[in-house]
Amino acid sequence: MFFRLIIYCDLALLYSILVFNCVFICGVNIFWRFIMDKESQYLLFALSSPMEVLN
């Protein structure tokens, strides 16, 4: 009985972490698209120039 309760708690923790990760990733994607709509050229330039230096 107690062992089964521990398994249920672990599963609940795992599911909550998965849900949190999905919500976090979706939020970051929406935020990123919002930023890219606002200043896409400037951000692309700022992100691509260090990459070209590294390559």
| Residue 46, domain extent | 1-55
pLDDT, greater one: 26 or 47? 26
- Measured distance CA(24)–CA(36) in Å, rounded: 18
Question: How do residues 3-13 score in pLDDT, each as one tens digit?
Answer: 788 888 888 88
- Mean pLDDT (the chain, rounded): 77
* Percentage above 70 pLDDT, the chain: 62
Find the DSSP H helices in 1-55: 2-54
Give yes or no for a contact between 37 and 45, defined as CB atoms under 8 angstroms apart: no
Number of domains in the chain: 1
